[in-house]
Structure 1
Amino acid sequence: MIDSQSQTPGAARNTTGLSFILILSALMAFTSLSTDIYLPAMPVMAKDLHGDAELTITGFLIGFCIAQLIWGPVSDHFGRRLPLFAGMVLFIVGSVGCALSENIGQIVFWRVFQALGACTGPMLGRAMIRDLFSRTRAAQMLSTLMIIMAIAPIAGPLLGGQMIKITSWHSIFWLLTAIGTLMLISLIWLPETLPEEKREKASLAGAFRNYYTLLSNAQYMRFTLCLTFYYIAAYAFITGSPFVYISYFGVDPQHYGWLFAVNIVGLMAVSVVNRRLVHRYPLETLLKCAVTVAALAALVLALGVRMHTGGVVLIVVTVFIFFSMNGVIAATSAAAALDAVPNVAGSASALMGSLQYGSGIISSLLLALAGDGTPWTMAWIIALFTLISAGIALTTRVVAVADN
């Protein structure tokens, strides 16, 4: 149902056609694509660049985290389209820099630069959904977008694994350059969802003060932190799995993509179910159920790895359950958080995205600093932070909100 405070039903119908959904899905997939596509190449990159390949993810997430805090108020002030165009240009330049890098320092720098642009996609994708839809409908739309955008983390590692087999890792970043260029062109057909009369009227400097208001909003922060801690756990798998599967268990890099993709299939399946569930149950109830299941799977993973039982099968099965819950957790927590602060959706989405994806910095640093060459470090990080996420969700009261 269209949010009566966002747009008229007719305007929303004209805006949210198939092209709008496809472009928005691609924008929201930018983060996954920018990282997942070169995961199979990370062990090779570490050897070629004589450095810690995990730092390329850390650098990307640092840029991603900081840039969103800038783009959020800018989008509330100037609209959504302008930051998207600027972001795609920055992403293209950063991708070229990565492709031309010759050492670990250079590629980490350009990964930061690449992230300055990539972050506009998922951040403004969420904000545009909130511009158009009410609480429950926004959760349903976000689940729909996750189903489509899940193609990227499935296709990314598979494509990257095949590319590293026949060419160098540099070509992966040239491919990202081409994809960024196509996305820049596609933005021509993306409509503006934040009309002039609904934009932030205060000065741009004043718009940044919205972050203080957001940080002091308990309802918004509760959902945001729940998502943040879950993503620390998720990034522990994303960052650590190439070395666990390829280096520790000896999985062929070309086959790694399939092991990664199975988790995304689970995410897609749960997202399909979630589209129906959001109309029957409160978002808070769905969130509590999802994080509880994820926490139980994470505990089994950590205990099994610690006891040296189950091998790679244990990791594949438990991570599949854990990762599949992302289909509910991301959609429900984002919709509920943004519903708490509808007048500053751009800044709210930016702060949420900054914490959500910036949390991966914690994962990659913990893996780099505490890694012992076994799956244990990845396992305990996943378990610890999923339990914290569950603790936050389970203490959240259910709020009955009528969609208008």
Structure 2
Amino acid sequence: MPGPTNVTTPAPNAPVTRSGRRVPDGVWICVLALLTAVAPLATDMYLPVLPQVAAELGAPASGAQLTLTAFLVGLATGQLVIGPLSDAFGRRRLVLAGTVLLLLASVASALAPSIAVLVVARFLQGFGGAAGVVLSRAMISDRTTGVRTVRLFSVMMAINGIAPVLAPMIGSAIGGLVGWRGIFVVLAALALLMLVASSVAVGETLDTDARTTGGLRRTFTDMGTLLRRPRFVGYLLAFAAAFAMMFAYISGSPFVLQQTLGLSPTQYALAFGANAAGLTLANIVSGRLASRIAPRRMLVTAVGLLVVLCAALTAVTLLGAARWPVLVLLFAILTTLGFVMGNGAALATGEVRDRAGTGSALLGATQFGLGAVVSPLAGADPVAMAVVMLVAVSVSALALAALTRGPRATPH
């Protein structure tokens, strides 16, 4: 007999829970955005309280900075391990396991009695948080294609793109109220929320017959295979180098805007908020335009404009770093960046749908690896910050021009 007429069949490749019920795009993408937001929050909320950590634990400044480095190393390493493993074992169980590790490591960080314990806890925190970062991209790639992929990536970037910009102010406020350990309590609460949300709203997205076999050797073979695809490497470098440009801005702007341009803490917060709004709005607009303008065209145009804007910022800082020209240019740069992030991630993962977990791992590891390298180079000097931003976005443009013009290495 025919089934009831009021039962709705999920659309092909729609995200579903373990019970098989369809998850609305809005709910699904918000959960994935929450999974990816932990990286910028755990990185940048912690920056304002580094002096407190060093003082309370009796460690030198270099020891406190090592806890930040340990987190970034854990984040990059975790993506390289978890992404390829998910191609063999599926996405959902690794998301849940990684989030549990993130929760436990956040609690351990809050209770750390020494700098050595905190360094280890921060590494584990980064390793666990890497699961949400790397697998959220893989899940989108598993279940979407074309314009829908770009739209969902853009929405996700819009939701969590504000996190790395506002996180230092949030961390400063929490640290001022309850001390640096309170930041890790907040991160533990966030991890618990992530665990509940992903348990309810995130189902398995990788079909059993699409999984790989072969263990660790297969993992390295897959990485080598993907790195021999010029288009993937081009989009990977374009995305990661643009992200590194943002890291240079984040690490350098607190000193440049306040010490060089003379902004008060309140004015600095307003400038950061305006730039975050521009970045978020651009991601939303980019998703809306995806059905009318090809993602590659948007990406190439935005990266070209970023080169021009960063060159102008460099010229302005060399001429004396006048307040309003610098502020206007930074706003324009961050807004334009919003057209790079979603399109770059979608185009990169689109080249490696056959190994989405491994591809997402390489994307994330390169993204945060370059960010970790670039951040200290920006320094406190406006010229240094501008030059680093210009070099980073120039690498992005060169990668697009040199590596993404040819045909795909394999059909997808």
Q: What's 1:266 paired with?
A: 278
Q: What's 1:4 paired with?
A: none
| CA distances 1:133-184 after superposition (whole Å, capped 9, x unpaired) | 1132211110111222235346534432322333322211211111112211
5+ residue gaps, structure 1, are 1-6
Residue pairs, 1:162-311, within 5 angstroms: 162-189=173-200, 190-246=202-258, 251=263, 256-311=268-323
Q: 2: CA distance between counterparts of 1:257 and 1:44?
A: 21
Give yes or no for contact 1:136–1:335 (8 Å, CA) kept in 2: no
1:391 paired with 2:398, answer yes
Q: 2: CA distance between counterparts of 1:210 and 1:310?
A: 49
Secondary structure class of the residue paired with 2:61: coil
With 36-45 and 160-169 compared, the bigger mean Cα shift is at 36-45
By how many angstroms is 1:86 displaced?
Answer: 1.7
Q: What's 1:3 paired with?
A: none
When normalised by structure 1's length, the TM-score is 0.87
1:380 paired with 2:387, answer yes
2:76 counterpart (37, 54, 65): 65
Alpha carbons of 1:283 and 1:28: their partners in 2 closer, same or farther (altered >3 Å)?
same
By how many angstroms is 1:353 displaced?
Answer: 0.7
One-letter amino acid matched to 1:221: V
Q: 2: CA distance between counterparts of 1:12 and 1:227?
A: 26
Q: What's 2:4 paired with?
A: none
Q: 2: CA distance between counterparts of 1:318 and 1:77?
A: 45
By how many angstroms is 1:61 displaced?
Answer: 1.9
One-letter amino acid matched to 1:331: G
Alpha carbons of 1:151 and 1:384: their partners in 2 closer, same or farther (altered >3 Å)?
closer
Q: What's 2:46 paired with?
A: 38
By how many angstroms is 1:389 displaced?
Answer: 1.1
Alpha carbons of 1:58 and 1:270: their partners in 2 closer, same or farther (altered >3 Å)?
same
Q: What's 2:6 paired with?
A: none
Q: 1: CA distance between counterparts of 2:344 and 2:25?
A: 25
Query: Over aligned residues, Cα RMSD in angstroms?
Result: 2.8
Q: 2: CA distance between counterparts of 1:360 and 1:24?
A: 22
Q: What's 2:18 paired with?
A: none
1:18 paired with 2:26, answer yes
Q: 2: CA distance between counterparts of 1:323 and 1:256?
A: 15
Alpha carbons of 1:57 and 1:376: their partners in 2 closer, same or farther (altered >3 Å)?
farther
| CA distances 1:376-400 after superposition (whole Å, capped 9, x unpaired) | 3222111111112122224443879
| CA distances 1:245-293 after superposition (whole Å, capped 9, x unpaired) | 4555565556644432322211111112111222122222111111112
One-letter amino acid matched to 1:236: A
| CA distances 1:325-378 after superposition (whole Å, capped 9, x unpaired) | 3322121122112211211001001111110111112113434xxx4x433322
Give yes or no for contact 1:158–1:258 (8 Å, CA) kept in 2: no
Q: What's 2:3 paired with?
A: none
Residue pairs, 1:81-230, within 5 angstroms: 81-101=92-112, 106-153=117-164, 156-189=167-200, 190-230=202-242
- Over the matched positions of the two proteins, sequence identity in percent amounts to 32
| CA distances 1:27-78 after superposition (whole Å, capped 9, x unpaired) | 1212122123234435655666531465544332222112111101111111
Secondary structure class of the residue paired with 1:192: coil
By how many angstroms is 1:107 displaced?
Answer: 4.0
One-letter amino acid matched to 1:386: V
Alpha carbons of 1:360 and 1:103: their partners in 2 closer, same or farther (altered >3 Å)?
farther
When normalised by structure 2's length, the TM-score is 0.85
One-letter amino acid matched to 2:285: V
1:9 paired with 2:17, answer no
Give yes or no for contact 1:287–1:329 (8 Å, CA) kept in 2: yes
1:79 paired with 2:90, answer yes
Q: 1: CA distance between counterparts of 2:191 and 2:258?
A: 29
Give yes or no for contact 1:55–1:364 (8 Å, CA) kept in 2: no
Give yes or no for contact 1:161–1:254 (8 Å, CA) kept in 2: no
Q: 2: CA distance between counterparts of 1:91 and 1:81?
A: 15
One-letter amino acid matched to 2:236: T
Give yes or no for contact 2:261–2:322 (8 Å, CA) kept in 1: no
One-letter amino acid matched to 2:341: A
One-letter amino acid matched to 2:88: H
Give yes or no for contact 1:294–1:325 (8 Å, CA) kept in 2: yes
Greater Cα radius of gyration, structure 1 or 2: 2
Q: 1: CA distance between counterparts of 2:213 and 2:115?
A: 43
One-letter amino acid matched to 2:196: I
Q: What's 1:51 paired with?
A: 61
